[in-house]
Amino acid sequence: MPPRTLITGHILSFDHSPFEAGDPTDAARLHEALLIEEGRITALGTAQALHAQAPDAARTDMGNHLITAGFVDAHVHYPQTAIIASWGKRLIDWLNTYTFPEEMRLSDPAYAADIAGRYLDLTLAHGTTTCASFCTIHPASVTAFFEAAQARGLRAVAGKTCMDRNAPEGLRDTAQSAYDDSKQLLQTWHGVDRLSYAITPRFSPTSTPDQLAALGALWSEYPDCLMQTHLSEQTDEVAWVKSLYPEARDYLDTYDSHGLLGARGLYGHAIHLDARERDRLREVGAALIHCPTSNTFIGSGLFNLAARIAEGQRIGLATDTGGGSSFSMLRTMAAAYEIGQLTGTALHPAQLLWLATAGSAQALHMGSKIGNIAPGMEADLVALDLASTPAIAQRSARADDLWEALFPTLMMGDDRAIAGVWVAGKAV
């Protein structure tokens, strides 16, 4: 029998969404210990009871650290790792100045492999155990990412980014090659180990109607795949889409009319939506992915998270590396809180943590596998040191309850707060 692992500490799980509770803390539960066997959580309970249940288990005592599900980052661009925190551009200029030149470099499989490994190691150090990544137009960039994720045992999502216009020579494919490359990569990687493929048009401005239609056809052939793209990130982008698709009712309609709107769709940013778009997204059960550090860093606008949740939208949380300015989901939760303040809602620490774990997992349709701590779930975990710096320690020492102790780490924490990471039950 493979060795079992017993982890003790302050273990936090959710019974349901804290956005659905009158008191967000009612959604959460604390446990003393969890038992892992063959990469899955098999039991939660007291340390004494689980030790009696599995006296042969290897024991890891995390002391006063808080153990949660590993963070789930629902929208990233791993090819932009090396250009994160590039100065001073709005979206379209930023793409042309920084992103597209860097993405061209990933035509080299060796460079793509280096960046993929670098990205995953950086994010694991910040407690992220699952991400959904855009790659580049180069199939080798997808292979590099999946091989790096597979070598680390990660549950991960990725897809070849498709663009056949409004991009430089060297970063354009065609409607046919986008379909063919995506299909081949999908057939190679989707469902292998812990890997999933996402059909990935970058966004409507860089795809012709023919390319969107081809990718919509591919999605209809493989409806269990995810589809990821961008939607209504900036107002000048929305105007650009209107000029490129004059027959469309709105930005969302450019996807809907080409078979690229559905429950397994992930729509990054989604800030500047009109009422029809919001109604249609809710109707199909699509996921809106909130990218708060990116939205402020590139000057895109303020996503009204509370309003979108109140109207019944499915929401994930993401760093949006490298338009986002941090690899850390802790920093992302802090930015989500700050934007919540600016839009009139103070998000509770339980809500922030849920968004970064179970909420994002549900957006990726992986909520039965990752994003929470419960028997049967995959054992992707992170341990948080709630006193990781002198500034955080002196504040958390005054806390009256868990949430007050956790909040300074959500606001000021970084990779120093990550006291442990487990991927499928194995300590990283």
The mean pLDDT value for 295-304 works out to: 94
Structural domain of residue 48, as residue ranges? 5-70+372-427
- Residue 344 φ/ψ region, left for φ over 0, alpha for ψ in the -120 to 50 degree band, beta for the rest: left
**Which amino acid appears at position 226 of this protein?**
L
Kindly state whether residues 238 and 349 are assigned to the same domain: yes
The mean pLDDT value for 242-266 works out to: 98
Kindly state whether residues 322 and 248 are assigned to the same domain: yes
Kindly state whether residues 260 and 326 are assigned to the same domain: yes
The mean pLDDT value for 161-171 works out to: 95
Pair 330, 288: CB distance under 8 Å:
no
Quote the pLDDT of residue 2.
Answer: 60
| C-alpha distances out from residue 292 to 298, 311, 366, Å | 10, 20, 22
β-pairing verdict for 28-37 and 40-45: antiparallel
In which element (H, E) is residue 422 found? strand 418-423
Sign of CA dihedral 75, 80, 83, 87: negative
Residue at which a domain ends, from 343, 363, 383? 363
The Cα 391–Cα 409 span in angstroms is: 10
Residue at which a domain ends, from 333, 363, 393? 363
Kindly state whether residues 64 and 78 are assigned to the same domain: no
Total tally of structural domains belonging to the chain? 2
Q: Is the pLDDT of residue 425 over 70?
A: yes
The Cα 26–Cα 168 span in angstroms is: 52
Q: What are phi and psi of 181, to 5 degrees?
A: -65, -45
Kindly state whether residues 41 and 10 are assigned to the same domain: yes
CB atoms within 10 A of CB 206: 22
Chain segment 268-288, per-residue pLDDT in tens: 999 999 999 999 999 999 999
Q: Is the pLDDT of residue 148 over 80?
A: yes
In which element (H, E) is residue 141 found? helix 139-151
**Neighbouring residues of 171: CB distance < 8 A, sequence distance ≥ 6:** 100, 103, 104, 136, 137, 163
Kindly state whether residues 66 and 14 are assigned to the same domain: yes
Q: The whole model's pTM is what?
A: 0.98
Residue at which a domain ends, from 363, 392, 415? 363
Kindly state whether residues 207 and 307 are assigned to the same domain: yes
Kindly state whether residues 219 and 338 are assigned to the same domain: yes
Kindly state whether residues 29 and 158 are assigned to the same domain: no
CATH number at residue 240: 3.20.20.140
CB atoms within 10 A of CB 60: 17
Pair 164, 207: CB distance under 8 Å:
yes
Q: Is the pLDDT of residue 1 over 60?
A: no
Instruction: Classify burial at 367, counting beta carbons within 10 Å of its beta carbon; exposed 0-12, middle 13-18, buried 19 or more.
Output: middle
Kindly state whether residues 75 and 62 are assigned to the same domain: no
Q: Is the pLDDT of residue 90 over 80?
A: no
The mean pLDDT value for 338-348 works out to: 97
Average pLDDT, whole number, for the chain? 96
Pick from 80-89, 134-143, 409-418: least confident: 80-89
Largest CA distance in the chain: 68
Q: Which two tokens stand for residue 364?
A: 């990726």
Chain segment 190-248, per-residue pLDDT in tens: 999 999 999 999 999 999 999 999 999 999 999 999 999 999 999 999 999 999 999 99
CATH number at residue 408: 2.30.40.10
Kindly state whether residues 342 and 399 are assigned to the same domain: no
Pair 421, 427: CB distance under 8 Å:
yes
Cis peptide before 153, with omega less than 30 degrees from 0? Answer: no
Pair 173, 181: CB distance under 8 Å:
yes
Kindly state whether residues 116 and 14 are assigned to the same domain: no
Chain segment 9-28, per-residue pLDDT in tens: 999 999 999 999 789 999 99
Q: Is the pLDDT of residue 31 over 70?
A: yes
Counting residues of the chain whose pLDDT is more than 70, the rounded percentage is 100
Q: Which of 82-86, 100-104, 177-181, 323-327 has the highest mean pLDDT?
A: 177-181
